[in-house]
Amino acid sequence: MSSIFDSPIFETVLSMILVCAMLSLLVSSLTELINSYFNERGKQLYNTISKLFDDNVNINFGQLIYNHPMVTNLRKDNKTYPQYISDAMFSQVMIEVVSNFAREYKYDEEKKSIVMQVAKDANGLPVHEDLFTRFKAGVEKMEHTSIKLLLLNMADKATSMAKGDSSTSEIASLEKQLKQWYNDQMDRMTGWYKEVIKKKLLIVGFIVAIVLNVNAIHVFQTIYRNPQLRSELTAISERVAENYEKVKSDTSLTDLQKETKAMQMSKIISIKKDSTQLSEIKDALGQMQKLDTAFNKIISKVMKLDSIDKIHDSLRRIKLAEDFKNTYDRIDEIEALGLPIGWKLNEPPLCWLATKDTANKKFLHRILINNVFINRDSLITKLKSDHIDKYFINYVKPSFWNWVFYLIGICITAFSVSMGAPFWFDLLLKFVNIRKAGKKPLTTTND
Amino acid sequence: MASNRFTNIHSHIFTSTEVPDYFLKTIIGNDWIARNLNSLFQKKMTLNAMKPILWAMKAISPNYRNSIERYIEFIQIGASSTQGEIFDREASAYSGIGNYRIVVLTQMLDYLDVNSKSNHKRIQTQVEEVVQLKRDANYQKRLYPFLSVDPRMTFMEPIDWVQKYISKDMGFYGIKMYPAYGFFPFDARLDPVYEWAEKYEVPIMTHCTRGGSWYLGTFDSVLNKGGFMAPGLNEDHASMTKIRGRINSLIADKDKHKNNKYWCNIFGHIENYEPVLAKYPNLKICFAHMGGATEILRPKKDKSYPKYFDDNWYEMILDKLANHKNTYTDISYTLSNEKAMARIKSDYVDKDFLKYKVLYGTDFFLTQVEKKGDEPNMLSTFLQLFDQASIQKIAYDNNENYLKSKIHPTP
């Protein structure tokens, strides 16, 4: 007797989770591609650091650190912000920027230029001012705001800590506090960044649902009513879940990399037969992949140069090329599933726009099947004669409810895929494990 | 004494990080599209991707193609990482000219829309960057900064602000004003600034065209509902009746009431300086751009503007120059318009007083969007248009006289 875990409904749900997982991976790859192109992480980091010092009154030291040579060297080009600034670099650069603000400059009548003033003792010899003292002087020079108080208190704490612990200098204590403050803010930034990404995933989710024409309701119905497709998808689901379980614990990989690797290991493209449903979209991405090739050529040249800056730049290009390739591969895999997705003249919603007027040869007025124009009624007759499920015959007919369900289906797809690939892959793994655990073990006659 | 330093009296080096995110609303009405186009055009790859399109456009619409290219170039310059980088780009055009200096005007863009939020660098940080450039040996002898002032500034009193930076030690030489960003030049909050500037002969540069960029917020946010206006510094002066009348006419003109462009004409109107100059007759002030090419070329009577502000700004500026001793004007931006420059040259020859009042400036890099608006072309247009004696006056002597103050007696 078959258990509930072998039932068509369970297998359909499992297959739907696989479809959502694959689509959400595509959406994540696309979002990553967009973020790489627009240097979103770098911008978010810049905005976060800017906000740390934004009191509307004082000079924004957070923005000024981007002019510091140490940070400037991290820029890939003059239009890109660094994606990452370590806490050590932040604290060091910040102390220098504030300290420099304390320096005094005077116009020298003899030299006819502005020159830096050096403190001198009674004998006219230069007095060494340590960095910590100058940092405090820089903070004291600021207008009175909460940011000034914050920095002043950090400096005071550093003094107290150094007094209590002779092995720690004031500047080291100050650096420690600045690092702590920065890291706390970076944690918050990660939260903000996730919020931004969520919104983007939803927008990209809608774009993918529309461009690929993925009506979740129709996909569900098709899988449910097609036992062969269902069993194939169930088998793929198990394979993907198995591979995902293998890579899930690998801490060296990001979430997106884990899911991508699981898909690569599952070799879906070689299992399933070719389909041309998404060929046009693939072609478009193929054009983009040419850029990927161009990137790789540049990378190979750039990597030969012994320059950290150039290597950073090439790494960014590798990342962008990788994102292109990932997106392309995800489309390939979705295509290989043989699902009722993509835009075709003999499928909804385009076939709903066809008229009964066979004399009218205008585009979209009749349906093209196997390079022969037939009208919609002929299609329905053909489907009936082929003993196709009544659902599919009704689905081809234009009706108010078909349109409503189509739009709902697109929305469901967009919202589902915007939940992110990790959610769907974890769910897939759980469902496959439940199925495995729930299945009655096979018994042999010898037993 | 004749000056030996060629001077560009009007240029900008602020980067896109100093500009509010919503700034492109000036050109593109939709805020969201403006912000995203801005990000898109800052990418080198976008420009590369657009090359085939631009190439195709060469055959279909060469003029349109050129303007797109210039616009992208403008965005790319603005997207430079530092103000120093933009200055270097401008300065490279003058490498063959010998001893030169460039006046860079800082721009207070923080109040472009008092109700919109933006994470741009505020004026304090923009100015600090220029202070650091001025101290840098690479720039010190060539870079002459002006300090932007707006009566709406809240972080410091305008007078404290100018006194802090316009000094030998800090290296700022003059004051920059841009009334079209949402204030009147006769605003009483500027009174101490004018008094101080007159006393120390500190030069003021003020934007004087009907176009350019302007305040982007709603006018209720500037003038309050019902048209309440901040008091003027010389309310009893006769010109104030006409000025207030003009403002009230626009408030009552429902067709144009919500059009920022018209409001900015009201803010920057030349007559608004009348009460200021009446109170401070020795104020050293430069009416930039000579009113703009459209005003210079506008026929005596046309229907571009309603009657209550159908004055010709070019003629009004000439009138100011003829009647006020320390007034100046510059040819910045207008230099990119051949026809306008032909008229200016003709007037320059005819009117004696202009020989001591016209200053050379380019308005780099805002002219990048104009045909032949890049700095080498602007410079070459100027050098070809005027004879040697005029060049000596316009680009050397007049500029030096204008820059000279009690704070910087030998600029």
How large a percentage of chain B has pLDDT more than 70? 90
Q: How confident is the model at residue B225 (pLDDT cuts 50, 70, 90)?
A: low
Please judge whether A106 and B140 are an interchain contact, meaning their C-beta atoms are less than 8 angstroms apart. Answer: no
Check whether B17 has a pLDDT greater than 60. Answer: yes
- Which has more pLDDT, B269 or A279? B269
Helix, strand or coil, per DSSP, at residue A226: coil
Mean pLDDT of B349-373: 93
Which residue of chain B is at minimal alpha-carbon distance from A112?
B141
Q: How confident is the model at residue A332 (pLDDT cuts 50, 70, 90)?
A: confident
Residue type, B305: Y
Mean pLDDT of A371-395: 69
- Which has more pLDDT, B254 or A443? B254
**CA distance linking residue B365 with residue B336, whole number of Å:** 12
Tally the residues of chain B. Answer: 411
B410 CB-contact burial (10 Å; exposed 0-12 / middle 13-18 / buried 19+):
exposed
Amino acid A303: pLDDT: 46
- Which has more pLDDT, B127 or B71? B127
Please judge whether B44 and A79 are an interchain contact, meaning their C-beta atoms are less than 8 angstroms apart. Answer: yes
Q: Are B19 and B120 in contact, with CB atoms under 8 Å apart?
A: yes
Residues in B whose CB is inside 8 Å of some CB of A read 17, 39, 42-45, 76, 79-82, 85, 119, 121-122, 124-125, 128-129, 132, 134-135, 137, 140-141, 154-156, 168-171
**CA distance linking residue A417 with residue A419, whole number of Å:** 5
The distance of B365 to chain A (nearest Cα, Å) reads 17
**CA distance linking residue B267 with residue B192, whole number of Å:** 20
- C-alpha closest to that of A203 among A426, A31, A4, A318: A31
Over its C-alpha atoms, chain A yields an Rg (Å, rounded) of 31
Check whether B257 has a pLDDT greater than 80. Answer: no
Task: Report the range of poorest mean pLDDT among A90-94, A176-180, A272-276, B378-382.
Answer: A272-276
Q: How confident is the model at residue A395 (pLDDT cuts 50, 70, 90)?
A: confident
Mean pLDDT of A123-150: 90
Q: What is the pLDDT of residues B362-399, one digit of tens each?
A: 999 999 888 889 999 999 999 999 999 999 999 999 99
Cβ–Cβ contact A63 with B under 8 A = yes
Nearest to B155 among A37, A56, A78 (CB): A56
Residue B329 bridge partners (DSSP): B287, B358
Cβ–Cβ contact A60 with B under 8 A = yes
- Region B6-15+81-403: CATH code: 3.20.20.140
Amino acid A263: pLDDT: 85
Check whether A226 has a pLDDT greater than 50. Answer: yes
Residue type, B332: S
Tally the residues of chain A. Answer: 447
- C-alpha closest to that of B209 among B274, B296, B277: B296
Amino acid A296: pLDDT: 55
Q: How many CB atoms within 10 Å of residue B49?
A: 12
Token pair for A52: 């740390």
Residues in Cβ contact with A237 at an 8 Å cutoff, skipping those fewer than 6 apart? A14, A15, A17, A18, A428, A431, A432
Please judge whether B141 and A47 are an interchain contact, meaning their C-beta atoms are less than 8 angstroms apart. Answer: no
Q: How many CA atoms lie within 13 A of B36 on its CB side?
A: 7
Q: How confident is the model at residue A359 (pLDDT cuts 50, 70, 90)?
A: very low
Please judge whether A60 and B124 are an interchain contact, meaning their C-beta atoms are less than 8 angstroms apart. Answer: yes
Check whether A410 has a pLDDT greater than 80. Answer: yes
Is the link from the previous residue into B365 a cis peptide, with omega within 30 of 0?
Answer: yes
The rounded mean pLDDT for chain A is: 81
- Which has more pLDDT, A296 or A65? A65
Q: How far apart are the first and last CA of chain B?
A: 13
Residue type, B6: F
Check whether A361 has a pLDDT greater than 60. Answer: no
Which residue of chain A is at minimal alpha-carbon distance from B86?
A78
Residue type, B359: L
**Axis-axis angle for helices A146-164, A170-211 (nearest 10):** 130
Residue A259 bridge partners (DSSP): none
Can you count the helices (H) and strands (E) in chain A? 18, 4
Amino acid A218: pLDDT: 93
Contacts of A79 in chain B (CB under 8 A): 42-44, 76, 79-81
- C-alpha closest to that of B86 among B278, B307, B286, B366: B366
The distance of B99 to chain A (nearest Cα, Å) reads 16
Greatest mean pLDDT range, A149-153, A437-441, B13-17, B109-113: A149-153
Q: How confident is the model at residue A302 (pLDDT cuts 50, 70, 90)?
A: very low
Token pair for A14: 């499992």
Amino acid A439: pLDDT: 62
Task: Report the range of poorest mean pLDDT among A309-313, A379-383, B24-28, B116-120.
Answer: A309-313
Helix, strand or coil, per DSSP, at residue A407: helix
- Which has more pLDDT, A198 or B275? B275
Check whether B132 has a pLDDT greater than 50. Answer: yes
Check whether B224 has a pLDDT greater than 70. Answer: no
Backbone angles phi, psi at B114, to 5 degrees: -65, -15
The rounded mean pLDDT for chain B is: 89
Q: What is the pLDDT of residues A14-64, one digit of tens each?
A: 999 999 999 999 999 889 888 888 888 888 899 999 999 999 899 999 999
Site from B76, B125, B143 to mutate, A interface, most A CB atoms within 10 angstroms: B125
Amino acid A407: pLDDT: 95
Backbone angles phi, psi at A163, to 5 degrees: -70, -40
Amino acid B277: pLDDT: 97
Amino acid B143: pLDDT: 97
Q: Are A323 and A260 in contact, with CB atoms under 8 Å apart?
A: no
Amino acid A363: pLDDT: 40
Cβ–Cβ contact A287 with B under 8 A = no
Site from A51, A114, A115, A116 to mutate, B interface, most B CB atoms within 10 angstroms: A114
Q: What dihedral do alpha carbons A285, A290, A293, A295 form, nearest 10°?
A: -90
Mean pLDDT of A204-233: 92
Task: Report the range of poorest mean pLDDT among A117-121, A357-361, B63-67, B275-279.
Answer: A357-361
Domain spans in chain B, listed from the N-terminal domain onward: 6-15+81-403
Please judge whether A63 and B169 are an interchain contact, meaning their C-beta atoms are less than 8 angstroms apart. Answer: no
Please judge whether B141 and A113 are an interchain contact, meaning their C-beta atoms are less than 8 angstroms apart. Answer: yes
Check whether A82 has a pLDDT greater than 50. Answer: yes
Check whether A284 has a pLDDT greater than 60. Answer: no
Task: Report DSSP state, residue A427.
Answer: H
Task: Report DSSP state, residue B298.
Answer: -
Please judge whether A63 and B17 are an interchain contact, meaning their C-beta atoms are less than 8 angstroms apart. Answer: yes
Token pair for A242: 């198995």
Contacts of B156 in chain A (CB under 8 A): 57, 143
Q: How confident is the model at residue A317 (pLDDT cuts 50, 70, 90)?
A: low
Q: How confident is the model at residue A102 (pLDDT cuts 50, 70, 90)?
A: very high
Q: What is the pLDDT of residues B137-163, one digit of tens each?
A: 999 999 999 999 999 999 999 999 999
- C-alpha closest to that of B105 among B368, B283, B288: B288
- Which has more pLDDT, A135 or A301? A135
Check whether A137 has a pLDDT greater than 90. Answer: yes
- Which has more pLDDT, B17 or B361? B361
Please judge whether B45 and A58 are an interchain contact, meaning their C-beta atoms are less than 8 angstroms apart. Answer: no
Check whether B346 has a pLDDT greater than 90. Answer: yes
Token pair for B382: 């100027």
The distance of A316 to chain B (nearest Cα, Å) reads 13
Site from B124, B134, B170, B408 to mutate, A interface, most A CB atoms within 10 angstroms: B124
Check whether B103 has a pLDDT greater than 90. Answer: yes
Mean pLDDT of B325-354: 96
Mean pLDDT of B24-32: 67
Amino acid A394: pLDDT: 82
Contacts of B137 in chain A (CB under 8 A): 113
Nearest to B155 among A51, A57, A106 (CB): A57
